[in-house]
Amino acid sequence: MNVTHDLSILALVMNASVVVKIVMAILALASLVSWTYIFMKVFALRQARREADSFEREFWGGADLVGLYQRASSGHYTVAGMEKVFEAGFKEFLKLKGRSGTELSALMDGSRRAMKAALQREVDALESHLSFLATVGSVSPYIGLFGTVWGIMNAFRGLSNVAQATLAQVAPGIAEALVATAIGLFAAIPAVIAYNRFSHDIDRLVGRYESFMEELSNILQRQAHQPTR
């Protein structure tokens, strides 16, 4: 008597044991959240690059620094990225310069510290959710492997009372178990690729911010002995 089994992916998932189903659900949820963060990060980095390009064009186009600062600190829009670094550094520069007896070294150190603090906050915002992608990329294959091992154990336990085991009898159970590994890889691979790509893009963007900080520090140092307009 020939026994046929439905080996479609949906049937394998539905016929899996409770533990394997829980593993699959965890991996599916992790994959869904990962893709949500991936799309959010793509748009966030694209916007950060556009804002940096726009601000750099305006800054190096001869715009008045006081005017740029007043616009950034007006509260009419959300300041982020390179403009936020500029606002923090120039605000501290004006505050310290307005104090009588402030030495040049203290003036520049205060401005640099303010810019570094603002830069760190921007980096933290850019790197948000990257740790989740790294975790999914590294852990998901092992979670899937756990589901596979558990499913194969159940498949062989089911054959313990069978007098003569055949490939047709053990194949469905093994196929159900291997689906967990497949889902684990499906969750892990995009997360790893996205993490590496985003890390590279963030490093390049942070490098631009740091270069701007050094150039702004040089400009502020030249203006330190000039009267504030």
Among candidate residues 50, 10, 164, the one with its CA nearest the CA of residue 58: 50
Tokens of 214: 């050094």
96 with 106: CB under 8 angstroms? yes
Q: Residue 229: inside a domain, yes or no?
A: no
Q: Residue 4: inside a domain, yes or no?
A: no
Q: Residue 3: inside a domain, yes or no?
A: no
Q: Residue 103: inside a domain, yes or no?
A: yes
User: What is the distance between the alpha carbons of residues 112 and 188, in angstroms, rounded to a whole number?
Assistant: 40
| Single-letter code of the amino acid located at 72 | A
Better-predicted residue by pLDDT, 222 or 133: 133
State how many domains the chain has.
1
> What is the reported pLDDT for 178?
81
102: containing domain: 9-223
**pLDDT tops 60 at residue 3:** no
pLDDT-based confidence at 204, cuts 50/70/90? Answer: very high
**pLDDT tops 90 at residue 222:** no
**pLDDT tops 60 at residue 227:** no
Among candidate residues 153, 164, 92, 81, the one with its CA nearest the CA of residue 123: 81
Q: Residue 176: inside a domain, yes or no?
A: yes
Q: What is the pLDDT of residues 163-203, one digit of tens each?
A: 565 656 666 667 777 888 888 999 999 999 999 999 999 99
Tokens of 213: 């900080």
Q: Residue 1: inside a domain, yes or no?
A: no
**pLDDT tops 80 at residue 89:** yes
Q: Residue 178: inside a domain, yes or no?
A: yes
